[in-house]
Structure 1
Amino acid sequence: MLAAGLVAAGVTLADSGTAGGATYTTATATIDAGVWRVTVGQLRGGNSSVTTAFNAASRASGQTMTDMLDADHMDPTGSTFESRPTVIFRPTTVEQVLVGTYYWRLAAHPVNYITTIVIDTRTATPITLADLFTDSRAGLNRLSEQTKRIFPTVYGNGTPMGDEPGNAPTDENFHNWIATGAGLEIHVVDGQFGHGLPVITVPWSQLSDLLAPAMRILAQ
C-alpha cells in the first residue's frame, strides 16, 4: 500500500502546433509501471509517420523515467511523484521535455528527473546527439568547452569552469537536449552540477562548423 498517492500532474501542453508543414493536436498518455505512473505527451493527426514515431519515443521516454526511479531505489511509501511533459513544435522537429519530480515526506528537497526527445519531421525518426555532428567526438568536445564558459555566466560568477565530471565530453552529460531557434538547449540532470535541473543554451554559431549537413536546418 502506498502511504501517499502518486500524482501525474502539472502537464504543460499546447492544444496544437505545426511542424514540417503539418498540424498536430496534443494529448497525454500514462505509462503505468505498477508503482510509478508517468504522464507523457502524445500527438494526434498531422503526418501519421511523425505521429507514430513521436508517440513511440515519448512512451519510451516515460518508461526510461520509471526505470531511473527504480534504479535509484526510490521508496514509494510516503511519497509523491509528478511528471510534466512539454511538447515543442519547430519547423522541422517535434520535441518533448519530460520532467519528473519525486517528493519524499522526510526529505529536505525533491529529486528531479528529465528525459528529452527530438523527432525529425523530414524522416519521422528520432535525432540523437550522435546524429547532430559530422564527428561525434569533436561535437562532445565543443559542448564541453561551451558548458565551461556558459554555465558560470548563467548560474555562477562568470569565471570559466575547470574540468569537472559534469562537463566532461561524454554522451551521458549531454544526451538531454532540444533544438531551439537560439541554439542547442542542454538540460542538465539533477546532481550533475548540484541539486536542480539547470538549462543552458549553446548558440548555433558555436556549433555550426561541426553540424552534419542534414542537421544544419535546425539552426534556421
Structure 2
Amino acid sequence: MRHWIWVVAAFVAITPFTVNAAGAEPVGSAGALISGKSPDGLGTWTVRYQHFDGNSPVAAVINDRIDDAANHEVQHATWNGSTRRPWTFDATGTINVRPTTVSEIFVGQYNTDEPNMPMQSLGSVVCDSRSGTVITWDNLFQDKTSGLTRLSAEVEARLAPAASSNELRDWRRSGQFAPIDVNFKHWVATPQGIELHFPPLQFGRGLKIVTVPWASMSDQITPEFVAITE
C-alpha cells in the first residue's frame, strides 16, 4: 500500500445531519458529517459523528478536538487505502456527555475487494468539559506506569472468566496486557468507569468492551481529575 501525504482538512466539509428516532442523540449533542474521496479517486469515506452542543468557548474547543479525532480516522484509512481497487471507509462517532467529561468513540469499517475484509477500526477522544483539555493516561494518572499497570490487571481480571487458559496464555505472551499506551488507546469516560474498547484480534475476534469501575482506579487518579470519577 502506498501512503498518501495530504492534508485531510482540505477535503473535509462538516455539515449537520439528523438522526432518526431509533438512533436518537443524547442530550448535549448535535450531528456532524464529513465525507470525501482519496486523491487517486479509488477511495470514498464518510464519518457521521456527534458534536457537543453549546455556544461557549469551551464547547468550541471540545468540538475542535472531536473534529480532529474524526479527521484522524479518515487520515488513517486514506494513508493505508488500496491503490489497486476501489475502497470505502465508513465510521460512526457516538458521544457521551457527563458533567465533567465529553467523550466520543469512533467505530469504523474499511472495505475493499481483498482478503480478510472488511476491517474494523476504533478511535476515541476524552475531554474535560470544564476546560476542553484532552484527558490522556499522561494527565489522568498520578503515575502513568502505575496507572496502566493497575488498568491492565483490571482488564485481565474482567476478560479471564470468558476466556480459555490458552487464550489468556497467548494474550500474555504476545504482550496484549502490557501496561503501555498502545494496548489501551481507545476509551471513554462513563458514570460506571473507564470504558475501554479493543480492536479485533487484540483479545480474539470482534470488538471487545471492558469497563473498569472508577472505584478500582480512584487511588491512581490525579487530584485535577478526581471529579470525573464521581
Quick check: TM above 0.5? yes
Pairing 1:13-92 to 2, within 5 Å after superposition:
14-15=24-25, 17=27, 24-30=28-34, 32=36, 34=38, 35-43=43-51, 45-74=53-82, 77-92=85-100
Q: Distance in 1 between matches of 2:124 and 2:185?
A: 8
Distance 1:54 1:32, change over 3 A: farther
Corresponding residue of 1:129: 137
Contact in 2 for aligned 1:97/1:117 (Cα 8 Å):
yes
- Gapped regions of structure 1 (runs ≥ 5): 1-8, 18-23
Using the aligned pairs only, state the percent identity: 28
Greater displacement, 104-113 / 80-89: 104-113
Residue by residue, what CA displacement relative to the aligned partner does 1:164-197 show, whole Å, maximum 9, x if unpaired?
A: 4211110111121111111111111233223322
How far residue 42 of structure 1 moved from its aligned partner, in angstroms, is: 4.4
CA distance in 2, matches of 1:187, 1:15: 21
Name the CA distance, whole Å, in 1 between partners of 2:163 and 2:52: 42
Structure 1 residue 31: Cα displacement = 5.1
The structure 2 residue matched to 1:166, chosen from 176, 199, 206, is 176
CA contact (8 A) 2:30 2:53 kept: no
Counterpart contact for 2:96–2:102, Cα < 8 Å: yes
Matches of 1:117 and 1:156, distance apart in 2: 29
Normalised to the residue count of structure 1, the TM-score between the two structures is 0.79
Larger relative helix fraction: 2
Range with greater deviation from structure 2 (128-137 or 50-59)? 50-59
The answer to whether the 8 A contact 1:178-1:185 is kept is yes
Q: Distance in 1 between matches of 2:55 and 2:109?
A: 32
Residue 211 (structure 1) aligns with: 221
Shift of 1:36: 4.3
Q: How many residues align?
A: 204
Higher deviation after alignment, 105-114 or 156-165: 156-165
CA, structure 1 residues 218+81, in 2 after alignment: closer, same or farther (shift >3 Å)? same
Local SS of the residue matching 1:94: strand
TM-score by length of 2: 0.76
Per-residue deviation at 1:213?
Answer: 1.1
Name the aligned partner's letter for residue 55 of structure 1.
N
The two structures, once aligned, show a CA RMSD in angstroms of: 2.8
User: Does the CA contact (< 8 Å) of 1:14 and 1:87 recur in 2?
Assistant: no
Task: Check conservation: 1:38, 1:82, Cα contact below 8 A.
Answer: yes
For the residue of structure 1 that corresponds to 2:218, the secondary structure is coil
Determine whether 1:148 maps to 2:156. yes
